[in-house]
Chain A
């Protein structure tokens, strides 16, 4: 499956192919440019709107940067980033209620919606339904059906058993069936 930035390479390539050195500033910048859109794509399906997804993407890379020196090259770097991104999305959902007032002000200040990709995402029934799913279920779905990870890779990325990933995917599909059949 083609990934979000048109790069057909598989995610989670072995580190020797990706060539990232933990702690290298230049490598982190390269990683950021290579993976930003994919991380953003995942987050768009998990948090309520694009602005929040962008904030969460930045937060993801901030957290990743803080731990960049300790990143172990044995782990696929993008899987590691997705794991962080999903945790950021979970935190964001927890704090959503507190931030609603500020978010409203920010939306009022935004330009009128046009053909912005975020608008497409926000108008999609599927994406809207995914946002109502538990974050971990929605994450499994986007990693499997958009980024093309296998269940095993998702399990490794999220640090859960493969069977858990299968259960999450099954539960998510069941929830979404109703939406897509409408």
Chain B
């Protein structure tokens, strides 16, 4: 070993050996992926996440409800299939030389619409959480159909027509104003 090597060694030893007694600090922890995710989900991130999740949930619920109301089934392909079947049926009913199945299909479609609307009303009145639990919400579906004959829903339950037993309500005469 040359003199210069020895000198370097001695000097490095003199300078660095005192570090042997130095305390070892705690290791700085690495921020893991999960910590970063927690940071994102905490604080302002949490509020944003909740809003996003709520939005997604509401959208999903709206799609489901709309699909169910339109077809009477959770499966949106059901209504399509029913219409298809009905079109084929109406076509078969046509006599030779006759044209137009519009009326036949239309009657089925309108009947189906009334059926599912009635079912939806029924569900709404049974479910206290209808309208998101808002006590101020009006049951518009009920209002629209009050006083109108309601066709029988699929289950065969029919709301009875309001009847006026004879003599219970005497006729009212409205005086003519001049």
Residues on A facing B (Cβ under 8 Å): 1-2, 4-6, 29, 32-33, 36-37, 40-41, 44-45, 54, 58, 61-62, 65-66, 117, 120-121, 124, 126-127, 141-142, 145-146, 173, 176-177, 180
A32 and B30 alpha carbons, distance in the complex (Å): 13
Contact A145 B25 (CB under 8 A): no
CB distance from B37 to the nearest CB of A (A): 17
Contact A6 B9 (CB under 8 A): no
Contact B8 A121 (CB under 8 A): no
Assuming A6-B20, A120-B14, A142-B12, what are 5 further A-B pairs, CB within 8 angstroms? Answer: A32-B24, A41-B16, A124-B15, A145-B5, A176-B8
Please classify how large the interface on chain B is, using the bins under 10, 10 to 19, 20 to 34, 35 or more. Answer: 20 to 34
Contact B4 A180 (CB under 8 A): yes
Q: Please, which residue of chain A has its CB at the minimum distance from the CB of B22? A: A117
Q: Give the top 10 A-B pairs by smallest Cβ distance, nearest first.
A: A117-B18, A146-B12, A58-B28, A126-B11, A41-B16, A124-B15, A145-B9, A145-B8, A121-B15, A36-B24
With A117-B22, A176-B4, A180-B7 as contacts: A62 and B30 at CB distance below 8 Å: yes
CB distance from B91 to the nearest CB of A (A): 68
Question: Could you list 13 examples of A-B contacts with CB < 8 Å?
Answer: A2-B13, A4-B19, A40-B22, A45-B16, A54-B25, A61-B28, A117-B19, A120-B15, A121-B15, A121-B16, A124-B11, A124-B15, A146-B9
Q: Within 8 Å of chain A (Cβ to Cβ): is B17?
A: yes
Q: Please, which residue of chain B has its CB at the minimum distance from the CB of A172? A: B8
Q: Within 8 Å of chain A (Cβ to Cβ): is B169?
A: no
Residues on B facing A (Cβ under 8 Å): 4-5, 7-9, 11-22, 24-25, 27-28, 30
With A126-B12, A146-B12, A180-B8 as contacts: A4 and B17 at CB distance below 8 Å: yes
CB distance from B10 to the nearest CB of A (A): 9
With A37-B22, A58-B28 as contacts: A146 and B5 at CB distance below 8 Å: no
CB distance from A69 to the nearest CB of B (A): 12
Contact A66 B30 (CB under 8 A): yes
Q: Which residues of B contact A117 (CB under 8 A)?
A: 15-16, 18-19, 21-22
Q: Which residues of A contact B19 (CB under 8 A)?
A: 4, 37, 40-41, 44, 117
Contact B27 A29 (CB under 8 A): yes
A142 and B19 alpha carbons, distance in the complex (Å): 15
CB distance from B173 to the nearest CB of A (A): 93
State which of B5, B9, B30 has its C-beta within 8 Å of the C-beta of A65.
B30
State which of A32, A66, A177 has its C-beta within 8 Å of the C-beta of B27.
A32
State which of A5, A66, A121 has its C-beta within 8 Å of the C-beta of B20.
A5
* Most chain A Cβ neighbours within 10 Å, of B9, B15, B16: B16
CB distance from B15 to the nearest CB of A (A): 5
Q: Which residues of A contact B25 (CB under 8 A)?
A: 36, 54, 58
CB distance from A137 to the nearest CB of B (A): 12
State which of A5, A41, A126 has its C-beta within 8 Å of the C-beta of B8.
A126
With A32-B27, A58-B28, A65-B30 as contacts: A177 and B4 at CB distance below 8 Å: yes
A146 and B13 alpha carbons, distance in the complex (Å): 7
